[in-house]
Every structure is written in C-alpha cells, then in structure tokens.
Amino acid sequence: MTHTISTRLHGLLDYLWSVLLIASPWLFGFADETVNRAIAVILGSAVILYSFCTEYEMGVMRGIPRSAHLFLDMLVGVFLGSSFMHIAMASRGGLVFAILGVAMLINVFATPRPRDTMTS
C-alpha cells in the first residue's frame, strides 16, 4: 500500500481529530446522550495525551514509540467505527462515531510504518 501522508501531517490530523471528537456532542447535537458524550470526551482526551507523548514531529514528550501510537490509533478507530454494533447507539452519536472511526483508520493506513529496528 502506498502511504500518502507524512508523520507530521498524521500528528496534526490526530490533534484536529481529537478536538473534533471532544466537541462532537455539541457540534452534532447529541450532548444530551450521557454515554456518548463521555465516550467522545474521554477518547478524544486520550488521543491528545498519547499523541503528545509520541516519538514523532508533533510529539512533545516523545516517550511512546510511533508503532505503539499507530496501534492505539487503530484500536480507537475500530472501536468508534464499530461502536453502533457493541454499544446501544441507535442515535446521532453512533453515526458520528462511525464516521470519525473510519476517518481515524484512513489516517492510520495512509501513514508510513516505522522501520523495524530489531537486529537478528
């Protein structure tokens, strides 16, 4: 697969995506759905936190390897992308989460993987 975005752009998209996820209950009208609002704020904050600590251009503390960061992004994307199946979310929040989950997965798969640094 051809990777089309740089790690710098990936990092910027992580922060923008996280802010959008946190604000989504109010932007898209599901702030009255307590569980969905909590999921949005908690997951968005978690992505900001681990992005802040990742070893890439947009990381500040740089303690988390980029491979672990991409794995966490993938978990978040799969969770949100399939949230309508495992949480009773027949609501606007479920649709927003599914769209944001797919967007996160696109960001993950369009970013180059770190090279394996292990020696044999």
Question: Does the residue 61 lie in any domain?
Answer: yes
Spell out the residues 6+ positions from residue 91 whose beta carbon is closer than 8 angstroms to its own: 30, 33, 36
Indicate the number of domains in the chain: 1
Other beta carbons less than 10 A from residue 65's beta carbon: 14
Within a domain: 65: yes
Look at residue 116 and tell me if it is in a domain. Answer: no
| pLDDT tier at 14, thresholds 50, 70, 90 | very high
Structural domain of residue 19, as residue ranges? 7-109
Q: What is the pLDDT of residue 16?
A: 97
Residues 81-105: what's their mean pLDDT? 84
Nearest to 14 by CA among 44, 40, 55, 38: 44
Mean pLDDT lowest for which of 61-65, 86-90, 106-110?
Answer: 86-90
Overall pTM surpassing 0.75 (yes/no): yes
**Looking at residue 79, what is its pLDDT?**
93
Q: Is 119 part of any domain? A: no
pLDDT for 116 equals: 45
